[in-house]
Structure 1
């Protein structure tokens, strides 16, 4: 683990519902500007982890720190984009983009005039390549265009972290690829910190500067059987090949070998690594196993 404090620091975090452990002793340190993709089997707790980061839920145990301060309830410092577009159908694209600035603005910033809000919203429309569509309503846009508006709606508030939960899951394959390229370009421009949950391993490996595999398929020294209330851990933590704004990287041998490793280490219930042997290759990875877990 880096000697420098992480921008986001998750330490010994557990999350349980009605006594059932979902997330089990999660440790994670993330640097500012990182693009983290998160994959794992259905039901392993990926969306739960995102809800903890944005403050929509609180850990059963452990700490989550953002810039060395405990995270609180949801606020505009942590933007979120869902699979279903969070747009208001009765507002134009421009009004959807500017809504946050008009309702309350950014904490700590001076109150903006109507002209300043309009100029910022128009500039955001340029960034998301929808400058000609500002006066349209959401139903007049394609799915990919609506999701770009939702991303712009979050970004204009300048969040410290942008959390995205399966944002491209409802799009057709061609639109999805175009949105991946768009998001990479936007991330390179804005240098934002992103957490991106997806079921698509190819998408995760293409987008992420860091790829986290969350899985319940592992063993430790607590043994087996119904008495072991074991939840998901980060079983692999990769630093993928440098992200490039071209889908050609998906055809390379290195890329496809990475996909095969992810599938084996996170999704194969017969491939049960011991918790001490997880594939934690990223330089910021760290793990604090309990005595029961590591013997």
Structure 2
């Protein structure tokens, strides 16, 4: 294990000299700083709440100390401006990247862009505009978009056309700012319109914008279609962001059936330099589980 610099930690407030001359330490349970992970794994807030109980900045510092280089925060759009600024400032100090947050249109996801209704389109586009401002504030590049539920009373081709047209409008908002919405096929319920990688690939090709790409969530894709490496190979030129979770259980790698060593080897050999979001829970509760999670990622990180 290698420490990245005592002076750097002084600058971040990790270890300081008190008035009495004694050293004081951060709220989290300090471990020696680790080498950065070779793959850019991105935890989320709450994943290390027992090891770093001092709040958002404290948890970010703990993540950085363990070798993580990025963060993702699905709920960023709903955070206060003060919290957004705190996160951005701390991440800048720690030289961390911001991963996805969700373009959360509220009931838009249950009513859906598949319907073609103006009220849902307007809600989506207004949320895209708000997301641009938040992305600038927190230095984000990618935002998750989910088109919503099937509209059972409409032919699938009409629904697909409605989604494509809505996403073209969204891309017009994001593209001038160099931002990318990433479409995520999900497995949570069969009612969701977007469920497969090839379907998402076709929609991205139809939108035809660098602002509209695929978020390939390995957990969801294992549940919906499997054949992970071959599917990623077929859709690779539209994949901009990847998320992680083992199946069954949606916990860290090594807790389910997915051979993450092989999957990460494929991703690394493809030259992927993007973020891999850790969108899953901890298999073991408490501080013990948090340290076990870190060790699980050390085992599957590329060598």
Flag the structure with higher strand content.
Answer: 1
Relative contact order (alpha carbons < 8 A, sep ≥ 6): 1 or 2 greater? 1
Report the TM-score, using the length of structure 2 for normalisation. 0.34
Taking structure 1 as the reference length, what is the TM-score of the superposition? Answer: 0.35
